[in-house]
Amino acid sequence: MIKLGILASGRGSNFQSIIDSIKNDYLSAEIKILITDNPDAYAINRAKENNIPYVCLKMSKSKSEYYEMVVEQLQKNEVELVILAGFMRIVARPLLDVYKMRIMNIHPALLPSFRGLHGQRQALEYGVKIAGCTVHFVDDGVDTGPIITQAAVPVYSDDTEDSISQRILALEHKIYPYAIKLFSEDRLVIYDNIVTILNEIKSDDKLFVPTQKIS
């Protein structure tokens, strides 16, 4: 059973999808702590409802001092994998050093396209016909770390940022637990910035679904 630390700033819907995946036995994991930078984050309510310890660490010091406090909380709770679930800050050292290639993030676009904020809006403004989401390991760039898995949805001519965001979010809730599951099963190998999934199940419809059936 892998020990997770969640970092979130807002409503925490991906946090909830991970909680649900643990409850339905899809994911063998334990969420040891929620760390938030926002005392009003709805993610705190989710933690309370599920008896998950939480702490609010407001960004009041330098970035390095802040992430020293984050690392202290993670290590105190014996966290093995750090999950960014709508954490609205750029991760920095020493967190990046202590948890090298053990920090995951989900981005609402098909990386390496449309990095940074408002990936869905960027995709619509560019006129893409396929959009989606990406789970990746975090490095010292912005959405530049090795890609773990992706899923896609079609973009229609009458789509708005809100409508495409909702369809992408539904996929986020599926592929994030999937990526964590792969990590917990030691099925992810990183070489030359490329992630290989061991014992990957292949499918002709891989474009629109994750690379393994998930519940």
Using the predicted structure, report yes or no on whether residue 133 has a pLDDT greater than 70: yes
Separation between Cα atoms, residue 30 and residue 18, nearest integer Å? 10
Q: Which pLDDT tens digit goes with each residue over 27-55?
A: 999 999 999 999 999 999 999 999 999 99
Separation between Cα atoms, residue 69 and residue 130, nearest integer Å? 40
Separation between Cα atoms, residue 40 and residue 16, nearest integer Å? 17
Average pLDDT over residues 151-169: 94
* Average pLDDT over the chain, rounded to an integer: 93
Closest to 135 in 3D by CA, of 194, 199, 179, 190: 179
pLDDT score at 212: 45
pLDDT score at 214: 43
Domains of the chain (ranges plus CATH)? 1-100 (3.40.50.170), 105-215 (3.40.50.170)
Separation between Cα atoms, residue 176 and residue 81, nearest integer Å? 13
Task: Check if 173 is active-site.
Answer: no
